[in-house]
A and B are shown apart, each in its own frame.
Chain A
Amino acid sequence: MSVRVLSPGWLTSVQDTGRSGHAAIGVGLSGAMDDVALRLANALVGNAENAAALEVTLRGPRLRFETDALIAQTGAVIDARCGTKAIPAWRPVWLAAGSELELGDMRRGARAYLAIAGGVDVAPVLGSRSADINASLGPLSGRAVVAGDELPIGHVPAEHLARLPQALGGLPLRDPHERDAIVAARWSLDPQPWFDLRGDEPVALVRGRHFESLDAASQRALFNETFRVGNESNRVGYRLEGAKLRLEAPLELISESVVPGTLQLPPNGDPIALMAEAPTTGGYPRIAHVASVDLPRLAQRRPGGRVRFVQTSLADAQSRYLARERALRALVQFIKERLHHQSHV
């Protein structure tokens, strides 16, 4: 079972929930930038939530499915079609062998996730199938996918896939024996609250160790001004342009741990929010940290997009995160029961 990459889009990579446990040797987490969208896409095709899927950035790839497949697309709003048929998002969709799926322009957000039942089954590197593009680490030598790649897909019992067209309760959009046949589930997830459709929700920050070292105007500006996501932003970090932030006095710092979400302040005054491919250590002042629960929201802002920050307490950031995890787990369980029920009709 495999998927052939006909064209890679702007930046498409294999991502799971990341590679932890190796920070001591300088290996960072990587993984999906919007891990909530990844986990829901996996749930919709019956995968474990940490299965590897494709993370699609800004413009999508063209893919050919060599066998029948069950897919789901979540995250950013992207044009998706098989032949002339639009493929709906946030639901399981069955594709017949030979289907060519084209993900085109992204209408909202920056990163879409395409999960395939069985998961992208490249050999894990240091416990993860994620590409760490900046570190050139991971399957495919840590690179993004390119035209001609054959991505292996994990085994799904053929009889299970064959039963799905009826089981999904969806209408075949064409005769299932025809090429490009697709069957979309009648039901779908509401992207809310998992995706910030308008892209204007504020991003919560908890103060970092060096927040107090900012001058008074910069402390105010961080929460009162709107920042622009710089053009050179990527999976390593988002450069935030707007008010220049200044320290009261220079700090002499030695390298210490940093994590995705850490807001560093380099000398030029533009803070950098470290993202999935954050290095493991950094020596710039850490003025704040993005609340983990809001990292997916920030990851969906594209270069040129706007960001407003609000201040939150550590306790609030954690309780929002824990509440989201509970809600997500309940939803994943609901999806699982629905898929299970349907495949046994």
Chain B
Amino acid sequence: MSTSSIEPLGDSALLIRLGDSIDARTNSLALALADALRAAKLPGVRDVAPAYASVGVHFEPEAAAGPGVGGSPNEFLVQRIHEVVGALLRDRLPHSNDAVGDGEGEARPADDLVQIPVCYGGDFGPDLDALAAYTKLEALDVVARHARTEYRVAMLGFMPGFPYLLGLDEALHAPRRGSPRTRVPAGSVAIGGAQTGIYPRELPGGWQLIGRTPLTLFDAARAQPALLRPGQRVRFRAIEAGEFAALTQ
């Protein structure tokens, strides 16, 4: 857990790597580090971007160069980031009262559970039957397994508001489609490999579509444009087409 590395991501960004795997514990650390880096307000930092097991730090080289003449922006920032990482890791040692040993990650402020209503199968989930056949489960069982798990948003990426969720039942892991769709409808709930996610708007995509939510995942005009944010807990709730229609504005 204490192995972190900081590497350049070109000449105006750094990547802090906390691991190489997709797991809740590493991700929780990445999200906590992103919060700590934002709070540290390091000079020249334009953005902090957590992912599964890493945090990108984008900076403006001129502003990040720090005091002194001729200092490389990287050297100065790397030093400051080491301090933030060090402080975070000290705080999260198992003997501190903020235990993280359960592998589930700690509670975060934005931590309330978000319910996502989903109409599974049919036109809304055209790949549900194929996925059921692949996983050797009944379609209803696929739905039950997908809807009974509590997920956590590991990261957003690909498109504004696209959440990558941790926690998919292993029985539902399934490969992407051989040929991606040119148009996946907005709100489509999909499975790609070990991941499940939701298409925030109509997009091309290769994941298997098992259902659709009437909720709007991303709207730049909202105070919180993204419905789901990194670290948030998520549960899907199966709904019928009638409720889907009623929830669609």
A interface residue numbers (CB < 8 A to B): 20-27, 125-126, 135-137, 206, 208-209, 254-259, 261-262, 279-282, 286, 289-292, 314-315, 317-318, 321-322, 325
Contacts and interface: CB of A to CB of B under 8 A. Distances in A.
B58 A315 contact: no
A292 B11 contact: yes
19 contacts: A20-B58, A22-B225, A23-B47, A24-B50, A206-B10, A208-B10, A255-B164, A256-B54, A257-B15, A257-B58, A258-B9, A280-B157, A281-B158, A292-B10, A292-B61, A318-B11, A318-B72, A322-B61, A322-B62
Given A23-B58, A24-B230, A281-B49, A206 B8 contact: yes
Interface of B: 7-13, 15, 17, 20-22, 34, 46-56, 58, 61-62, 65, 72-74, 155-162, 164, 201, 218, 220-221, 225-226, 229-230
A262 B160 contact: no
A259 B161 CA distance: 18
Nearest to A279: B158
A21 B34 CA distance: 12
B155 A281 contact: yes
Contacts of A137: 160, 220
Nearest to A320: B11
B56 A254 contact: no
Given A26-B159, A321-B61, A254 B21 contact: yes
A126 B220 CA distance: 7
Given A24-B49, A279-B159, A292-B10, A259 B220 contact: no
| Chain A residues touching B, majority SS | mixed
A20 B61 contact: no
A25 B56 contact: no
A257 B54 contact: yes
What 6 A-B pairs come out closest when comparing CB atoms?
A: A257-B56, A289-B10, A281-B157, A23-B49, A26-B156, A25-B226
A24 B160 contact: no
Contacts of B164: 255
Given A20-B58, A256-B51, A321 B156 contact: no
